[in-house]
Structure 1
Amino acid sequence: MYPLTINHWLTQHAQFRPNHLAFVFGDTRLTFAELNRSVNRMANALRAAGIGKGNKVATVLPNSRELYEAFWAVAKLGAVLVPMSPMVRGQGLINLLNDADSGLVLTDADHAPFLDEVRSELVIPVANYWLTDGEQPNWQSYSALWQAASEVEPPTPELDGDDLYNIMYSSGTTGLPKGIMHSHFVRSMYGTLFANAYRIRPESVIMHSGSIVFNGAMLTFMPAMFIGCTYVLLKEFSVQPVLQTLASEGVTHTILVPTQIASCLRYPDFTIDKLPTIEYILSVGAPLLNEQKAELIRRFPNTFYELYGLTEGFMTVLDKTVSAEKTGSVGRPIWFSEMKIVDDTGCECPTSEVGEIIGRAPFLTSGYYKKPDQTADAIRNGWLYTGDLGYVDDDGYLFLVGRKKDLIISGGVNVYPKDIEEIIIRHPAVAEVAVFGVPHPDWGETPIAAVRLIEGISVNELKDWTNQHLEARYQKISAVMLLDEFPKNVAGKVLKTALQERYSESLKR
Structure 2
Amino acid sequence: MSLQCLTIQYWLRKHAAYRPRHTAIVFEDKRLTYKELYEEVNRLANAFIAAGIGKGDKVATLLPNSVELWEIYWACASIGAVAVPLSPLLRGHGLFNLLDNSDTKLVITDQDLTEHIDAVRADLKMIPDNNFWVTDNNKNGYQNYHLQKQQQTIIAPSVEEVTGNDPYNIIYSSGTTGLPKGIVLSHEVRALYGCLFANAFRMTPESVVMHSGSIIFNGSFLTLMPAMLLGCTYVLMSHYDAQEVVDIIHKEKVTHTILVPSQILGCLQKPDFHKDYLASLEYILSVGAPLLQEHKQELNKRIPNVFYELYGLTEGFMTILDRNCALLKTGSVGTAPQFMELKIVDDKGKELPQGQQGEITGRGPLLMTEYYKSPDQTREAIKNGWLFTGDVGYLDKDGFLFLTGRKKDLIISGGVNVYPGDIEEIVIKHKAVKDVAVFGIAHKEWGETPVAAVVLHEAAVVTAPEIQDWVNQNLEARYQKIYKVIIIDELPRNVAGKVLKRQLKETYALIS
TM-score, normalised to structure 1, is 0.98
210-219 or 135-144, which deviates more = 135-144
Give the 3-state SS of the residue equivalent to 1:363 in structure 2.
coil
Q: Distance in 2 between matches of 1:30 and 1:70?
A: 15
Structure 2 counterpart of 1:259:
262
Trace 1:64-75 onto structure 2 (pairs within 5 A): 64-75=66-77
Contact 1:239 1:263 in 2 (8 A): yes
- State the Cα distance separating 1:507 from its structure 2 match: 5.0
Q: Which amino acid aligns with 2:191?
A: S
1:83 to 85, 101, 107: 85
Q: Distance in 1 between matches of 2:428 and 2:112?
A: 37
1:488 to 493, 497, 505: 493
Q: Which amino acid aligns with 2:438?
A: V
Structure 1 counterpart of 2:505:
500
Structure 1 counterpart of 2:338:
335
Runs of 4+ in structure 1 off by over 6 angstroms are none
- State the Cα distance separating 1:485 from its structure 2 match: 2.2
Give the 3-state SS of the residue equivalent to 1:211 in structure 2.
coil
Query: 1:439-498 CA distances to partner (integer Å, 9 max, x unpaired)?
Result: 111111111111111123222222222212212111111122222222211211111111
2:29 to 27, 30, 44: 27
Structure 2 counterpart of 1:56:
58
Q: Distance in 2 between matches of 1:109 and 1:442?
A: 54
Q: Which amino acid aligns with 2:245?
A: V
Q: Which amino acid aligns with 2:336?
A: P
Query: 1:412-445 CA distances to partner (integer Å, 9 max, x unpaired)?
Result: 0000000111111111221111111111111111
2:478 to 449, 473, 476: 473
Contact 1:22 1:231 in 2 (8 A): yes
Query: 1:373-426 CA distances to partner (integer Å, 9 max, x unpaired)?
Result: 000010001000001111111111101111001000000000000011111111
Query: 1:265-307 CA distances to partner (integer Å, 9 max, x unpaired)?
Result: 1112111111000000100000011111111111121111100
Q: Which amino acid aligns with 1:433?
A: V
Structure 2 counterpart of 1:446:
449
Q: Distance in 2 between matches of 1:171 and 1:192?
A: 26
Mark the runs of 5 or more structure 1 residues left unpaired by the alignment.
none
Q: Distance in 2 between matches of 1:95 and 1:367?
A: 18
Structure 2 counterpart of 1:101:
103
Contact 1:481 1:503 in 2 (8 A): no
Q: Distance in 2 between matches of 1:451 and 1:42?
A: 47
Give the 3-state SS of the residue equivalent to 1:110 in structure 2.
helix
Structure 2 counterpart of 1:197:
200
Contact 1:214 1:490 in 2 (8 A): no
Structure 2 counterpart of 1:424:
427
Q: Distance in 2 between matches of 1:88 and 1:435?
A: 27
Trace 1:135-146 onto structure 2 (pairs within 5 A): 135-146=138-149
Q: Distance in 1 between matches of 2:88 and 2:168?
A: 20
Q: Which amino acid aligns with 2:141?
A: N
Structure 1 counterpart of 2:324:
321
Q: Distance in 1 between matches of 2:437 and 2:401?
A: 22
Trace 1:254-333 onto structure 2 (pairs within 5 A): 254-333=257-336
Contact 2:243 2:270 in 1 (8 A): no
Structure 1 counterpart of 2:8:
6
Contact 2:227 2:233 in 1 (8 A): yes
Give the 3-state SS of the residue equivalent to 2:105 in structure 1.
strand
Structure 2 counterpart of 1:391:
394
171-180 or 128-137, which deviates more = 128-137
2:410 to 407, 412, 415: 407
Give the 3-state SS of the residue equivalent to 1:329 in structure 2.
coil
Q: Which amino acid aligns with 2:432?
A: A
450-459 or 363-372, which deviates more = 450-459
Structure 2 counterpart of 1:371:
374
TM-score, normalised to structure 2, is 0.97
Structure 1 counterpart of 2:182:
179
Q: Distance in 2 between matches of 1:196 and 1:149?
A: 37
Structure 1 counterpart of 2:48:
46
RMSD: 1.1
Q: Distance in 2 between matches of 1:121 and 1:417?
A: 43
Q: Distance in 2 between matches of 1:300 and 1:83?
A: 33
- State the Cα distance separating 1:57 from its structure 2 match: 0.3
Q: Distance in 1 between matches of 2:43 and 2:431?
A: 53
Structure 2 counterpart of 1:459:
464
1:362 to 361, 365, 378: 365
Contact 1:71 1:81 in 2 (8 A): yes
Q: Distance in 2 between matches of 1:507 and 1:104?
A: 47
Instruction: Report the identity percentage.
Output: 60
1:114 to 113, 116, 133: 116
Q: Distance in 2 between matches of 1:252 and 1:246?
A: 8
**Could you say if the C-alpha distance between residues 381 and 271 of structure 1 is closer, same or farther in structure 2, counting changes exceeding 3 Å?**
same
- State the Cα distance separating 1:90 from its structure 2 match: 1.1
Q: Which amino acid aligns with 2:500?
A: L
Contact 2:242 2:267 in 1 (8 A): yes
Structure 1 counterpart of 2:167:
164
Q: Distance in 2 between matches of 1:475 and 1:110?
A: 47
Give the 3-state SS of the residue equivalent to 1:111 in structure 2.
helix
Contact 1:314 1:363 in 2 (8 A): yes
What number of residue pairs does the alignment pair up? Answer: 507
Query: 1:72-99 CA distances to partner (integer Å, 9 max, x unpaired)?
Result: 0000110000001111111110111100
Q: Which amino acid aligns with 1:485?
A: E
Q: Distance in 2 between matches of 1:108 and 1:477?
A: 46
Q: Distance in 2 between matches of 1:416 and 1:507?
A: 20
- State the Cα distance separating 1:156 from its structure 2 match: 2.9
Mark the runs of 5 or more structure 2 residues left unpaired by the alignment.
none
